[in-house]
Structure 1
Amino acid sequence: MIHSHLPIVLCALALQACASRLDEPPATGFDSYRQQTLQLIENHRVFQTADRTAELNWNAPQQWRPNGTPKGGVLLVHGLGDSPWSFHDIGRTLADQGYIVRTVLLPGHGTRPQDMLNVTLAQWQQVVREQAAQLSREVPKVYLGGFSTGANLVLDYAYQHDDIAGLLLFSPAFRSDSAYVWVTPWISWVRPWLAEPDDGVRPMQTPVRYLNVPTNGFAQFHYSSVLARQRLEQKPYGKPVFMVITEHDSVLDTRYVLDSFNQRFTHPGSRLVWYGTSPQAAPQNPRVLARNDYLPELHISQFSHMGLLFSPDNPLYGPQGSQRICWNGQPLPDMARCMAGEPVWYSDWGYQEPGKVHARLTFNPYYQWQSQVMLNVLGQ
């Protein structure tokens, strides 16, 4: 990404000043937090289906408890425009192995995209601080996990709290692949939306995520990535880390993420799962595990940013699920064929190939294998 370093420096200084003014939040019990958030969603959400109860539960913070006494806890933080549904499968997988698992809903999410017009990174950080501290009071060992922007937030917290036992980072958004994301903080007040809302073409949201995010949302994401890179430059992170990325991610600078793993995440038990052509580092670094992301037998052309999280059995996002994402950067006639239910291939955002209609890949055929790698890292 080529641009002046001055905006990054200014953003970092602003974030440090903001964070220093925030006192440690009071204890907020998870059950109370969940009920308050459910009420907020119900009051402000633009519901997408007739099943309001289901939508409320999909977007609200969740908890999974294991049988018996928990051996530890995991707090999971979703990404920009997403919801706690991101961890529907991973939460169950971890609970089955003895962990108490909780998710959060970041402010501005779960209701309607317009609610992100004035949200701040500090508000997101506060939710993570409150619920991480609460979980730490209840179990002897706490891990943090995050998807995309959520990975930036948990990395920041872990650098400040040495009691965190390790990290689970899914498509961590340490650096965007866009050369222009740094501009978003400077233009959000004059251009609130990068893509105009309600243009009759682009859907605004689905039952579990936003498809159109205000410019300010991207600005706060940018701030979080600046902060994550600042933490990584500060010193290596020595706790066990599980990380997973796909080579063809349409959001991230995946080479930067790979290099960061090799150089900054130093624990010998850490693992990075890489979907795509084996990276050059794989033969030299046994901590990097590669799998092919072109699976024509499953009609998969490339893996996607979001698909790494979900089992093929997911009731919304699996190949037989109810939520096919056809808004995928392809021509409108292809999108219409996808929405009509015609057979599709799957890919990341923006991938096109003559003669094929591509929906977003929203499931991971390697989910069971990936979960075992993740659990092995937690067992360090």
Structure 2
Amino acid sequence: MHKFIMYLTVLCLTLFFLGCSTFSNNNKPLNLSGQYYNYLQPSFDQYLAETKDWLSEHRAFISDNHEKELAMNMPFERGNKNSKKAILLVHGLGDSPYSFSDLATTFSEQGFYVQVLLLPGHGSKPEDMYLTTYQDWQNIVDHYANLLKKDYQEVWLSGFSTGANLTAIHTLNNEGIDGLIFISPGFESLNPTLEKLSSIVSVFWDGISKKENNFARYSSISMHGMAQYSDSAVAFRKAISDKNITVPTLIAISEADSIINSQATTEFFADKFVNPNNHLIWYGDQHSLRIKQRTQAYSMKLDALHISTASHMSPLFSPNNSYYGKEAEKLICTNSLDEEQTQSCKQGENVWFSAWGYQEEGKVYARLTWNPYFDNLKYEISKLVGYLIID
């Protein structure tokens, strides 16, 4: 896949320098464009109502169970609104609020009032991703984070992948955030060349179109969406270049992550996250973890569970999750470009679990979609948030 993408990158660059016209984005914010709905509402309740109306009319449903699909893609709230502390949760590229279906409960159990956003372009149909810009995503995060600050004494942010970039940028550029929880943060991708060129590539090629078969995320891959992720990563690295993040932070990452550069994340953690209560959870080999202070490693060589590595998404979900958990309904068999492997997985042939693209001879792999150490993650969250106590 990487060679294929790089080939297309070179082709698009050639066309670009031969004089092909570049794509011109409408600079008007998406919520004011007339092509979308106004997701920047004066209250979260109004935002929920507007989003439900939009998704009910515009989602390209992939099953007869419209109610279930809608529920899994809706922003939501959880916990006690009368709490003194609140947390805003932000999903990643191509995903949905369902990414935080388990951790939202964890945070509410820790006394937080929880809000979970739906980023513009998500939850409806892959084509809507083409309408968005990075700034649209940053605007919605900034807007609802600022609303929480008006009503709560303590405000935390949590993000998965691209969502971690957006919440980190808000923290760096604004006051009033008391703590951060990042899952597989997308601070730097595994392919920095493609990250830099994705905006140009997206002019000529909008990615890989697949049959949508996952209620909780897009199966298709939007190159335009990847370009907006890249913008968020660049914006994060620019914002943190001359600053530090001083609030308590927990980061959970997979060594074998096929999307983000996990080692780069550990370096940011060591150099730029300076609160003494910080903690990093590493799902992988302890010996490959380059930093030792404020870290904890969990081996993912778990033969008894047929697990070979963690994945980009696996830290998020409990083994008991109804859709992605250990005994759940969703099995992601498209875990590589090997069609024979995919078909063997679908037939249930002694399936093992890993990050995308991982292979071992004689084993058939699906994506690992749950965290065998989820209870440990909950415990570390409870320790971190306990450092700040409001009377």
TM-score between both structures, scaled by the size of structure 2: 0.86
Task: Tell me how far apart the structure 1 counterparts of residues 285 and 214 of structure 2 sit (CA, whole Å).
Answer: 32
The answer on 1:180 being equivalent to 2:194 is yes
Structure 2 residue matching 1:355: 3-state secondary structure: coil
- Over 3 Å counting, the alpha-carbon distance change for 1:318 and 1:87 in structure 2 is same
1:154 maps to amino acid: T
Question: Retained in 1: the 8 A contact 2:89–2:117?
Answer: yes
- Determine if the alignment matches structure 1 residue 232 to structure 2 residue 240: yes
Partner of 1:278: 286
Once the two structures are superposed, the pairs formed by residues 210-359 of structure 1 within 5 Å of their partners are: 210-279=218-287, 284-285=292-293, 287-359=294-366
In structure 2, how many angstroms separate the alpha carbons of the residues matched to 1:108 and 1:27? Answer: 17
Instruction: Indicate the residue corresponding to 2:148 in structure 1.
Output: 135
One-letter code aligned to 1:155: A
Instruction: Mark the CA change 1:18 to 1:265 in structure 2 (over 3 Å): closer, same or farther.
Output: farther
State the Cα distance separating 1:343 from its structure 2 match.
3.5
Q: 1-side partners of 2:28 and 2:187: how far apart?
A: 20
C-alpha distance in 1 between matches for 2:73 and 2:273? 32
1:79 aligns with 2:92: yes
Q: Deviations over 1:40-99 (max 9, x none)?
A: 111111212221111111100011013x84131010000000000000000011111211
CA distance change for structure 1 residues 264 and 217 in 2, over 3 Å: closer, same or farther?
A: same
Assess, with a 3 A threshold, how the Cα gap between structure 1 residues 26 and 56 changes in structure 2: closer, same or farther. closer
1:323-371 CA-to-partner distances (Å, cap 9, x unmatched) read 1111111521221222234431100000111221111000001001111
- Matched with 2:107 is 94
Among candidates 150, 161, 164, match of residue 174 of structure 2? 161
Task: Give identity over the alignment, percent.
Answer: 36
**How far, CA to CA, are the matches of 2:147 and 2:349 in structure 1?**
47
Contact 1:143 1:166 in 2 (8 A): yes
Q: Which structure 1 residue ranges, 5 or more long, are not aligned?
A: 1-16
- The structural deviation recorded for 1:280 is 5.7
Q: For this pair of structures, how many residues does the alignment match? A: 356
The CA distance in 2 between the partners of 1:225 and 1:214, in whole Å, is 17
Alpha-carbon separation, structure 1, partners of 2:190 and 2:304: 29
Tell me if structure 2 keeps the 8 A contact 1:330–1:351. no
Displacement of 1:283 = 6.9
| Residues 1:360 and 2:374 aligned together | no
Instruction: Say whether the 8 Å CA contact 1:312–1:363 is kept in structure 2.
Output: yes
The one of 126, 129, 140 equivalent to 2:139 is 126
Residues 201-258 of structure 1 deviation map (CA, whole Å, 9 limit, x = unaligned): x434511101222211000000000011112212111110010101110011111100
Report the residue type matching 2:77 in the other structure: Q
Deviation, 1:155, is: 0.4
> Which residue pairs with 2:160 in the alignment?
147
1:374 and 2:347 equivalent? no
CA 1:184–1:283 in 2, change beyond 3 Å: closer, same or farther? closer
- SS of 1:223's equivalent in the other structure is helix
CA contact (8 A) 1:249 1:305 kept: yes
**1-side partners of 2:221 and 2:181: how far apart?**
25
Residue in structure 2 matching 1:105, options 103, 112, 118: 118
Structure 1, 123-132 or 307-316: larger mean CA deviation? 123-132
Change in CA separation of 1:29 and 1:188 when aligned onto 2, cut-off 3 Å: same
Contact 1:27 1:133 in 2 (8 A): no
Kept after mapping to 1: 8 A contact 2:173/2:239:
no
TM-score (norm 1): 0.89
TM-fit CA distance, 1:26? 7.1
1:53 maps to 67
**Cα displacement string for residues 166-207 of structure 1 (whole angstroms, at most 9, x for unaligned residues):** 1111000000001322111012121122x2x2xxxx434511
Evaluate the alpha carbon distance shift between residue 112 and residue 86 of structure 1 in structure 2; reply closer, same or farther with a 3 A threshold. same
Runs of 5+ consecutive residues of structure 2 not aligned to the other structure: 1-26, 33-38
Q: How many angstroms apart in 2 are the aligned matches of 1:261 and 1:304?
A: 20
Distance 1:107 1:263 in 2: 32
Task: Output the amino acid matched with 2:198.
Answer: T
Counterpart residue type for residue 225 of structure 1: A
Look up the SS of the partner of 1:349 in the other structure. coil
